[in-house]
Amino acid sequence: MKPFAKRISRTVMAAAAVLTVVTAAGSAFAEPVTIRFGFAQVGVGNRQFGSGNTAALLHSRDILAEEFRNAPDVTLDWSFFKGAGPAVNEAIANGQLDFALQGDLPSLVGRSNGLKTRILAASGLRSNLYLAVAPKSGIRSIADLKGRKVAQFRGTNLQLATDKLLAAHGLTERDIKFINMDFATATAALATGDIDAAFGQADYLALDAQGVAKVVYSTRGDDPAFTRHSHLLVTEAFEQAHPDVTYRVVKALVKAAAWASDEANREAVFAEWAKSGIPAETFRADFDGQALGYRNSPLIDDFLIAAYRDQAERAKGYRLVRGDVRIDGWFEPAYVDRAVAELGLAGTWKRYDAKGHQQTAAQ
Amino acid sequence: MTNLELSRVAPESALHESALIAGNGRLDLPVEIDPKPLGALLRPALYALEALAFPLALLGLWTLSSRLGWLPAQILPAPDQVAATLAELAGNGDLWFHTSISLLRVVQGFALGGTLGLLLGIAMGLSPRVRRSVEPLFTALAQVPPLGWIPVLMLLVGIDEGLKLLIIAKAALIPVALNTHKGIRNVPDSLREVGAVLAFDRWATLTRIVLPAAVPSIFTGVRYGLTSAWLALVAVELLASSEGLGYLMVWGRQLFQLDMVIAAMLVVGLVGFALDWTLSRVERRLQRWELAGS
């Protein structure tokens, strides 16, 4: 009982201290800005690194720190959430974050619940979904999952991708015994045989190589509609208060994306992401046969907006969100377009129309 | 005196004897005879009001908080939104589905843990040797909360129903065993002497003297056992499950529908309250009989 009471009083004191600081900061004249940046991911064994997206490079390659090198009044604060997108939503609701790297479904869920955010750029497009099974499970395809015990990280963009995949095979979530597990827990449960299968990310390839699990399906080579997207978002409050800082964050992201889209850097990008603890060969295999720019483009084009519109529709259909999520007014391409022009990067990335076809040069 | 003493021995005879004494077959205690009948009539209503005042005040505070936006609506949804979610869950059958699964798990786990606890408590209460060899370890193990068992049990039985059953059974076993043990040990020596005078054998002593006298205490154990089984259930369901009230909370949290989390909490609380209230009524009956008998 006592430690709990102590903890409460400590929390109260901490809250009071924060309140004092905030009030003091508010009354100061030229206030310093802290950019509180959250990642809906964390490295293996809690390593404080992201991977598989361009925002991770902002942090790991100090690109954002470089952008604000001569701005001593700007501080950067990075957080990585083991609880992924759902945890990021909670942090945004609590006013603890300004920017976030988050996946499509959690952001849709956040918006449907009234979180005031704007999507500034794409960061990690067309990410693959992997199905790993316990070697003894006998599962060889999506159809074999019926009635089996399968781990799923609920509320992340993998859930929506999974539901779409299941629907394409005539299944729904109710046909499968889904158990909510974060990525680390699911990996452990696969190894101990507590679950028959798990939907996850490219890091399952490493489990396959070790013989711990077998990857029996991935969206690689399948319909790109089953893939997932993530993006950089900002809270409306921060964007309104600091449009200039917001622009510089987007500009840094565009620089990171340009570096990560240059085929000459292919191995360097994977090595950078490997700081998360996921081996570089995992990314090599995951990106095999795809141009870097196809996945690392920051552009908000018709394809991206249409994709989110479709995700919103499906998320509603699967009852992952209640009601319609308004897509209009959510995306703010002005920053990213300006950065691309200013950095002389026009033409670096292809624009796609709503149907996913490459748009003609006239665009 | 002998009549009264004997009346504690077995319930049927107790009822019979007391009825004879009271003359009307009722076992009411004198406390319930109030000189002011109007006050007596109003009292239950007054008590109900008192019991409701605090929850209503909290509800008011909650409503006020959501109206004034003290907490973000995403973190603490408004009461009417929670009510709407509850109604929706009840309407589409989800609520009953998950509640019935949770209840079934508790019934199974409680049946296992309660039976084992009863046997263990009787053994510890009757045999000094069992008590000496089992009690220290039992007391030590009882200090480990249900959640503390999960890591080890997970390795042994996996994360399936077996895990839930064992955790719930363990949660129920301990209060049942402790109270049964205590109840049996606290049977007054005078009662045992009566048995000796009547030349009861061991079986008759157990069934006609010890167990009846220990019933109120055993029942207290059953009541706490069921309550802690219900608490343990929600904890294990939060951990790994694909249905049940705990699962509903996980779903709500992951998909940022805190109204669903709160709705599930309300149901968990209400079911727990209903279980406890029902058993406390029975318990009071049993204690009253004990009181009336002595």
**Closest to B240 (Cβ–Cβ): which among A90, A179, A192?**
A179
The interface residues of chain A toward chain B in range 96-135, judged by CB-CB distance below 8 A, are: 106, 109-110, 113-115
pLDDT in tens, B105-158: 999 999 999 999 999 999 999 888 999 999 899 889 888 887 788 888 888 888
Q: Are residues A209 and A258 in the same domain?
A: no
Q: Would A14 be classed as within a structural domain? A: no
Question: Quick one: pLDDT at residue A122?
Answer: 97
SS3 content of chain A, % helix, strand, coil (to 5): 50, 15, 35
Q: Would A67 be classed as within a structural domain? A: yes
**Closest to B74 (Cβ–Cβ): which among A114, A154, A180?**
A114
Task: From chain A, pick out residues whose CB is under 8 angstroms from the CB of B159.
Answer: 179, 189, 194-195
Q: Would A15 be classed as within a structural domain? A: no
Question: Quick one: pLDDT at residue B9?
Answer: 38
Within a 10 A sphere around the Cβ of B75, how many other Cβ atoms? 12
* B11 has a pLDDT exceeding 70: no
User: Which one of A150, A194, A196, A320 makes the best mutation probe of the B interface by having the most chain B beta carbons within 10 Å?
Assistant: A194
Q: Are residues A178 and A282 in the same domain?
A: no
Q: Are residues A243 and A336 in the same domain?
A: yes
Q: Per-residue pLDDT averaged across B43-68, rounded?
A: 88
* A362 has a pLDDT exceeding 50: no
Q: Are residues A239 and A166 in the same domain?
A: no
* B27 has a pLDDT exceeding 50: no
| A233 close contact with B: CB closer than 8 A | no
Nearest CA in chain B to A322: B257
Question: Quick one: pLDDT at residue A69?
Answer: 93
Q: Would A251 be classed as within a structural domain? A: yes
- What is the band of B12 on the pLDDT scale with cuts at 50, 70, 90? very low
- Out of A226, A259, A274, a domain closes at A226
- Out of A159, A193, A226, a domain closes at A226
Q: Per-residue pLDDT averaged across B210-237, rounded?
A: 89
Cβ contact (<8 Å) for B240 and A181? yes
Question: Quick one: pLDDT at residue B8?
Answer: 38
Q: Are residues A233 and A113 in the same domain?
A: yes
- What is the band of A24 on the pLDDT scale with cuts at 50, 70, 90? very low
| A149 close contact with B: CB closer than 8 A | yes
Task: From chain B, pick out residues whose CB is under 8 angstroms from the CB of A181.
Answer: 240
Q: Would A184 be classed as within a structural domain? A: yes
Question: What is the C-alpha separation between A95 and A88, in angstroms, rounded?
Answer: 11
| A155 close contact with B: CB closer than 8 A | yes
Q: Are residues A75 and A107 in the same domain?
A: yes
As a whole number, the mean pLDDT across chain B is: 82
User: Which one of A82, A180, A195, A199 makes the best mutation probe of the B interface by having the most chain B beta carbons within 10 Å?
Assistant: A180
Q: Are residues A96 and A154 in the same domain?
A: no
Within a 10 A sphere around the Cβ of B29, how many other Cβ atoms? 9
Task: From chain A, pick out residues whose CB is under 8 angstroms from the CB of B250.
Answer: 154, 180
**Closest to B256 (Cβ–Cβ): which among A110, A179, A181?**
A110
State pTM to two decimals. 0.79
Q: What secondary structure does DSSP assign to B161-216, as a single string? A: HHHHHHHHHHHHHHHHHHHHHHHHHTS-HHHHHHHHHTT--HHHIIIIIIHHHHHH
Comparing B58 with B22, the larger pLDDT belongs to B58
Question: Quick one: pLDDT at residue B40?
Answer: 75
> Poorest-confidence range of A247-256, B118-127, B207-216, B271-280?
B207-216
Q: Structural domains in chain B?
A: 78-293 (1.10.3720.10)
Q: Are residues A81 and A141 in the same domain?
A: no
Q: Are residues A233 and A335 in the same domain?
A: yes
| A191 close contact with B: CB closer than 8 A | no
Residue B82 CA, chain-centre distance (Å), reads 27
Q: How far is B224 from chain A (nearest CA, A)?
A: 20
> Poorest-confidence range of B194-208, B211-225, B247-261?
B194-208
**Closest to B242 (Cβ–Cβ): which among A89, A114, A177?**
A177
Task: From chain B, pick out residues whose CB is under 8 angstroms from the CB of A180.
Answer: 240, 247, 250-251, 254
As a whole number, the mean pLDDT across chain A is: 90
Beta strands in chain B (DSSP E): none
Domain count of chain A?
Answer: 2
pLDDT in tens, A38-84: 999 999 989 999 999 999 999 999 999 999 999 999 999 999 999 99
Q: Compute the C-alpha angle A116/A121/A122, nearest 5°.
A: 110
Q: Per-residue pLDDT averaged across A277-302, rounded?
A: 95
User: Which one of B92, B255, B258, B259 makes the best mutation probe of the A interface by having the most chain A beta carbons within 10 Å?
Assistant: B255
* A19 has a pLDDT exceeding 80: no
* A142 has a pLDDT exceeding 70: yes
- What is the band of B39 on the pLDDT scale with cuts at 50, 70, 90? confident
Question: What is the C-alpha separation between B229 and B247, in angstroms, rounded?
Answer: 17
Cβ contact (<8 Å) for B74 and A180? no
Question: Quick one: pLDDT at residue B150?
Answer: 83
- What is the band of A6 on the pLDDT scale with cuts at 50, 70, 90? low
Q: Are residues A271 and A217 in the same domain?
A: no
Cβ contact (<8 Å) for B256 and A177? no
**Number of helical H runs and strand E runs in chain A:** 15, 10
Which residues are CB-neighbours of A179 under 8 A, at least 6 positions away? A149, A150, A151, A152, A195, B159, B240, B241, B242
- Cα distances from B284 to residues A130, B107, B216, B226, in angstroms, run 58, 22, 9, 16
Q: How far is B64 from chain A (nearest CA, A)?
A: 19
Percent with pLDDT over 90 in chain B:
39
| A194 close contact with B: CB closer than 8 A | yes
Comparing A97 with B198, the larger pLDDT belongs to A97
Cα–Cα nearest to B220, from B267, B184, B270 = B184
**Closest to A179 (Cβ–Cβ): which among B75, B242, B257?**
B242
- What is the band of A13 on the pLDDT scale with cuts at 50, 70, 90? low
Q: Are residues A119 and A241 in the same domain?
A: yes
Structure tokens at B65: 């908080």
Q: Domain containing A242: what range?
A: 33-126+229-342
> Poorest-confidence range of B4-13, B75-84, B148-157?
B4-13
Give the CATH number for residue A200. 3.40.190.10
pLDDT in tens, A209-225: 999 999 999 999 898 88
Do residues A353 and A303 touch, judged by C-beta distance below 8 A? yes
Cβ contact (<8 Å) for A93 and B75? yes
Q: Would A17 be classed as within a structural domain? A: no
Task: From chain A, pick out residues whose CB is under 8 angstroms from the CB of B158.
Answer: 192-194
Which residues are CB-neighbours of A95 under 8 A, at least 6 positions away? B72
Question: Quick one: pLDDT at residue A291?
Answer: 95
- Highest mean predicted confidence (pLDDT) among A273-287, B11-25, B233-247: A273-287
Q: Are residues A82 and A198 in the same domain?
A: no
> Poorest-confidence range of A32-41, A226-235, B246-255?
B246-255
- The contact set of B with A (CB < 8 A) is 72-75, 154-155, 158-160, 240-242, 247, 250-251, 253-257
Task: From chain B, pick out residues whose CB is under 8 angstroms from the CB of A193.
Answer: 158
Structure tokens at B43: 């009292």
Percent with pLDDT over 70 in chain B:
85
Task: From chain A, pick out residues whose CB is under 8 angstroms from the CB of B89.
Answer: none
Question: What is the C-alpha separation between B62 and B168, in angstroms, rounded?
Answer: 33
Question: Quick one: pLDDT at residue B266?
Answer: 94
Q: Would A347 be classed as within a structural domain? A: no
Q: Per-residue pLDDT averaged across B168-188, rounded?
A: 92
Question: Quick one: pLDDT at residue A172?
Answer: 92
Q: Would A360 be classed as within a structural domain? A: no
Q: How far is A109 from chain B (nearest CA, A)?
A: 7
Q: What secondary structure does DSSP assign to A89-157, as a single string? A: HHHHHTT--SEEEEEHHHHHHHHHTT--EEEEEE-S-SB--EEEE-GGG---SGGGGTT-EEEE-TTSH
Question: Quick one: pLDDT at residue B201?
Answer: 86
**Closest to A155 (Cβ–Cβ): which among B160, B241, B254?**
B254
Comparing A142 with B17, the larger pLDDT belongs to A142
